[in-house]
Amino acid sequence: MADSSRSHDVVLFGATGFTGGLTAEYLARNAPADCKWALAGRNQAKLEALRERLAALNPACADLGLLLCDVEDPASLREVAESARVVITTVGPYINYGEPLVAACAAAGTDYTDLTGEPEFVDLMYVRHHARAAETGARLVHACGFDSIPHDLGALFTVEQLPEDVPIDLRGFVTAGGKPSAGTFHSAITGFSRVRGMNKAAAERKRMEERPSDRRVRGNKAKPYRDSEVDAWAMPLPTIDPQVVLRSARALDRYGPDFTYGHFAAVKHLPVAVAGVAGVAALFTLAQIPPVRDFLLGRMESGDGPSPEERGKGWFKVTFVGKADGQKVMTEVSGGDPGYGETSKMLAEAALCLAHDELPETAGQVTTAQAMGRPLVERLERQGIGFRTL
């Protein structure tokens, strides 16, 4: 844990953006009274306006610190990192804007959390900054929103109910409803356009990363199929989530000597599944053409996002089916609007967990299951995110 004499327990960078503002509102309502937290960004006027809005929710927020910093000013990021025990950032796409803050936190021994779902970014941050963070004691925890907390902690929750020291086969089935913001859309289109870079970063990481020699951890590469246990078509979901689950499994012996994980979208009707695959394939193809990619990115402006009414209709459910030693366990992680309401909650609670809870001793780039595990599950349960056995 970073030095307790630092000025702030938590600093939120990107607070004036769409998801940053929701995270700030969550902290205003739910941060402990003794938690010293602050807002960071590059626009003083916007930070002051946000602080005023937060003070209407919680009068104590009238005294929140405001820190001016910019991703293009390394010195300002260094000052933020050195002032905080934990830094949250919502500034994406992370492949474009994220590394300077990761570097500052790794150097300062400051814990770091973000919302990235970008595999290339996460792999590059491991290659470039894991070793330094391990030296300084910084915990770099990526993917602290819907990517990938429900999947990572849901897998851990399920594994803990299965026998120990035996092979485990686990599958996760995702269903969700919600509307994306500009930040999510921009990250997706940017990621689609960088497949070559993503593959190169993954190969670099694989060359550097130590993996267990006495245990086997692997992904399930099943093709689309009809799954009777969830009564839906299982469509392989190549997001960052299964990568995170497998990293947790490599780090934690509790996942057993031979762990397999498959990650799927659960779709009730085959035509809907086919249409979804076709839509993603079309976006992927269009993102390879620079003028078309620029056109797509221009369809949503930074800060755009769903209204409170639209977010109120959002929901998610992840069903896990785990099998080990002849036993089967089915579990479910569920909540409201996955992209924003619940994501801002998960991100804020992850930071508060790092700042205030007794946790395992870890450092470097770590997953939520590895760094926080059960304490973060309990925090999320208290805030209405369901973890249950079916």
Domains identified in the chain, total number: 2
* Per-residue model confidence (pLDDT) at position 33: 95
Position 109 in a domain: yes
Give the residue numbers spanning the domain of 228.
149-207+214-336
Paired tokens of 335: 């909540």
User: Does the residue 198 lie in any domain?
Assistant: yes
Residue 176: the pLDDT is: 87
**Domain of 77: which CATH number?**
3.40.50.720
Q: What kind and span of H or E run contains 370?
A: helix 368-371
Q: Kindly report the backbone phi and psi dihedral angles of residue 68, in degrees, each rounded to the nearest multiple of 5, phi listed first.
A: -85, 125
Verify that 187 and 58 share a domain, yes or no: no
Please name the residue that has the structure tokens 């819907």: 146
Pair (47, 126) in one structural domain: yes
Do 50 and 153 lie in one domain? The reply is no
Q: Which pLDDT value is given to residue 184?
A: 57
Q: d(Cα 61, Cα 36) in Å, to the nearest integer?
A: 10
Q: What is the identity of the amino acid at 211?
A: R
* Two tokens, residue 369: 């299951």
pLDDT value of residue 336: 94
Please indicate, yes or no, whether residues 315 and 203 belong to a single structural domain of this protein. Answer: yes
What confidence score (pLDDT) does residue 340 get?
82
Across the chain, which has 390 residues, the per-10-residue mean pLDDT values are 78 94 97 97 96 97 96 96 97 92 98 95 98 98 95 98 97 84 59 80 94 95 91 90 97 98 89 67 69 68 69 91 97 92 96 97 98 98 97
- H or E element, residue 219: strand 216-219
Is residue 2 one of the residues assigned to a domain? no
Residue 1 confidence (pLDDT): 45
The answer to whether residue 132 is domain-embedded is yes
User: 228 and 87 in one domain?
Assistant: no
The reported pLDDT for the residue numbered 289 is: 77
Q: Residues 38, 95: one domain?
A: yes
Which residues are within 8 A (CB) of 267 and not within 5 positions of it... i.e. 6 or more apart?
175, 232, 233, 235, 273, 276
What was the pLDDT predicted at 177? Answer: 82
